[in-house]
Chains A and B, each alone.
Chain A
Amino acid sequence: MRTIALRQALREAMEEEMRIDSSVFLMGEEVAQYNGAYKVSQGMLTEFGPKRIVDTPISELGFAAIGVGAAMNNTKPIIEFMTWNFAELAIDQIVNHAAKIVSMSGGQFSCPIVFRGPNGSAGQLAAQHSQAFENWYANVPGLKVISTINPYDAKGLLKSAIRDADPVVFMESETAYGDLGEVPEETYLIPIGKASIKKEGTDVTIVSYNKMMKVAMDAATELAKENINAEVIDLRTIRPLDWQTIVESVKKTNRLVIVEEQWPFGSISSEITYRTQKEAFDFLDAPIRRICSADANMHYAHNLVAGYLPDVPKTVKLVKEVMYMKK
């Protein structure tokens, strides 16, 4: 199978959907002439023209609102945020508007829109450029939330997101746009709301998503060296959460560790932990544990960045703890 970068997988998803559905357009800062701040939309202006690939001024609230209004009126906008940090300026439109149009109108109007862009840390970018917001949006009825960096999953899920009749928050990662993965030439869809078991195992379940999947997979490789066979689940979709896949896995492994880039308070791991203790209480042989980002702001210095983020050693150590192994 051919191998392509995440940014190309995302671009192909948008291009394929735009070719078959003229109501789909892409709008955001630097998406057209500059070819995308991270080159996700490279070349799209040439194919689709300025009517469908729309550069905006730096007005996140305004262009998010224009997207929501357009989505209420028979079009399917893809709104790109340069990063999700900047979408904070537009959160009113996502939470108070996109998520509530169907309800407030008693089902008369819908809001088929995709808000997408990179989420989470990306090197030594300090406090304002490093945040992971999945749990903010996953808390909101009316939204669907996808967060993935696997090129195959990202392409299939973005296509589903564009076709979806409801508003979708789609989170990528700056540091993963160049990551390669196998993606078939043929077109395909991946359903929203289904997790993916990336490595089967028997001893412990590790759940993760977005770029912390790299930590989870690398930790599983390390653990294998010590004959610990971890099962690794990529959530891919955050809301709705495919907790059944997690619970089935825990019934097999009896142990659960969650690795995520969220801050700990009220995070995705909190929700998974609640659900798992409720649905699989009798199957658990150890407390559920998690590694989140530090309950602090991201600082600039490289050692403080390292201290802030989950990593392989921390994950390996935690897995050993839930397995009651020494050291």
Chain B
Amino acid sequence: MHSQFGKEIYLYWYETMLLLRKFEEKAGQLYGMQKIRGFCHLYIGQEAVAVGTISALRDDDNMITAYRDHALAIAKGIPAKECMAELYGKATGCTKGKGGSMHFFSKEKRFFGGHGIVGAQIGLGAGIAFAEQYQGTDRVTICYFGDGAARQGMLHEVMNMAVLWQLPVVFVCENNHYAMGTSVVRTSKVLDIYRLADAYDMPGDSVDGMSCEEVHKGVERAVRRAREGGGPTFLEIKTYRFRGHSMSDPAKYRTKEELEEYKEKDPINTTLSTIMANNWATQEEIEQINEKVRLEVEESVKFAEESPFPDDDELYKDIYMDANYPFITD
């Protein structure tokens, strides 16, 4: 199989996707054991979108997404153990046990969250990009949201301003075909979501999200445009979540056949096939990667288990930057 990409990037894609997958499979199990509580939305099936994006970004580029944030956060560089500890609500978590599953953040990794109000982060992403433009940097901001979020008014207000001001932002609609139990076809007559960008004179593109190669290429083009001052791009990346919307969703609104069709395209399998077909790794080397990932997930659980919960007096901390804020306590 011929590819413009080489061994190194395929091995990166394979190992990272496997980590995201195994981390979340573990999180799913732990949720069943009630070690993890609250809402928990798994990304399983969509991993190619995460790693195909990261391989096309610079480390200092910015990222923001919605509540389905575990995989993107880990791919952006937040250590898996800090993510697992966060799911446990531990003080060592990536937001000190304050955000939980839906609100992963890392200032150091320039990961701007984990947001729970559908579509609201579209505007935040544009604002983060506005600040980069204002400060004269060449950093690009990549802003993810779902097919459901694409129906929010926010999208339209912000796409308009982003083009008007030529903001260095890439809007990525991860079209996994469902917003909870509502399929895309039940939400609009406009099924090619990327075409919404036409209304604002923004370049838009449809991308196969089950392919790391296609995601990388689409994001790379958009990022280059943004970095060179060409303004925003709208990418609709078509993907699929293999699990329900959240842990409580048995996903009865879709057929087994549909699910199987997408599982056939599982990006972890196809990436591995390409690696093997090109002799980029021996079976033994693949086993080593698998073992490394298994250990990393295991260690993340151990770290989370052994970490302390936040101190009780954290209740009134991180509400304000102002350390002397006089809270009303009675």
Contact = CB atoms under 8 A, between A and B. Distances in A.
Given A57-B161, A70-B131, A104-B95, 9 more contacts: A23-B135, A57-B164, A59-B160, A64-B123, A69-B125, A105-B107, A107-B318, A112-B321, A142-B319
Interface string B169-189: 000000000000000000000
A86 interface: no
Given A67-B127, A104-B95, A57 B157 contact: yes
B318 A103 contact: yes
Nearest to B91: A106
A108 interface: yes
Shortest Cβ-Cβ A-B pairs, 4 listed? A69-B127, A65-B123, A62-B157, A106-B95
B131 A62 contact: no
Contact of B124 (A65, A106, A112, A165): A65
A72 B124 contact: yes
Interface stretch (B16-24, B109-117, B190-198): B109-117
B99 interface: yes
A66 interface: yes
Interface stretch (B3-11, B52-60, B289-297, B322-330): B322-330
9 contacts: A57-B161, A68-B124, A72-B131, A97-B115, A104-B105, A105-B99, A106-B93, A108-B105, A141-B327
Interface string A78-107: 000000000000001100110001111111
B120 A103 contact: no
A108 to B, nearest CB: 4
Contacts of A112: 321
Given A69-B130, A73-B132, A92-B120, A165 B105 contact: no
B130 A106 contact: no
Given A25-B134, A104-B98, A193-B326, A59 B157 contact: yes
A27 to B, nearest CB: 9
A318 B191 CA distance: 63
A70 B319 contact: no
Interface in A29-72: 51, 56-57, 59, 61-72
A225 interface: no
A107 B317 contact: yes
A231 interface: no
A222 interface: no
B158 interface: yes
B50 interface: no
Given A97-B124, A102-B321, A105-B103, A72 B98 contact: no
A142 B94 contact: no
Given A73-B127, A108-B95, A141 B161 contact: no
A234 interface: no
Interface in A144-183: 144, 164-166
Contacts of A93: 120, 123
Contacts of B107: 105, 108-109
Nearest to B96: A106
A61 B123 contact: yes
A74 B131 contact: yes
B112 A72 contact: yes
A74 B132 CA distance: 9
Contacts of B319: 102-103, 141-142
Contacts of A196: none
Report which residue of A25, A63, A64, A112 has the largest number of chain B beta carbons within 10 angstroms of its beta carbon.
A63
A240 interface: yes
Contact of A51 (B129, B134, B322): B134
A103 B95 CA distance: 8
Interface in B282-318: 317-318
Contacts of A144: 320
B128 interface: yes
Report which residue of A63, A69, A101, A240 has the largest number of chain B beta carbons within 10 angstroms of its beta carbon.
A69
A9 B319 CA distance: 30
Report which residue of B105, B123, B321 has the largest number of chain A beta carbons within 10 angstroms of its beta carbon.
B123
A69 B169 CA distance: 12
Contacts of A165: 320-322
A68 B122 CA distance: 11
B330 A278 contact: yes
Contact of B158 (A62, A106, A278): A62
Contacts of A205: none
Contacts of B105: 104-106, 108-109
Nearest to B310: A106
Contact of B62 (A73, A75, A102): A73
B127 A106 contact: no
A104 B67 CA distance: 12
A67 B112 CA distance: 14
Contacts of A96: 116-117, 120
Nearest to B94: A106
Contacts of B134: 25, 51, 70, 75
Nearest to A89: B153
Contacts of A130: none
B157 A108 contact: no
A253 interface: no
B154 interface: yes
Contacts of A102: 318-321
Contacts of A142: 319-320
Contacts of A57: 157, 160-161, 164
A110 interface: yes
Contacts of B164: 57
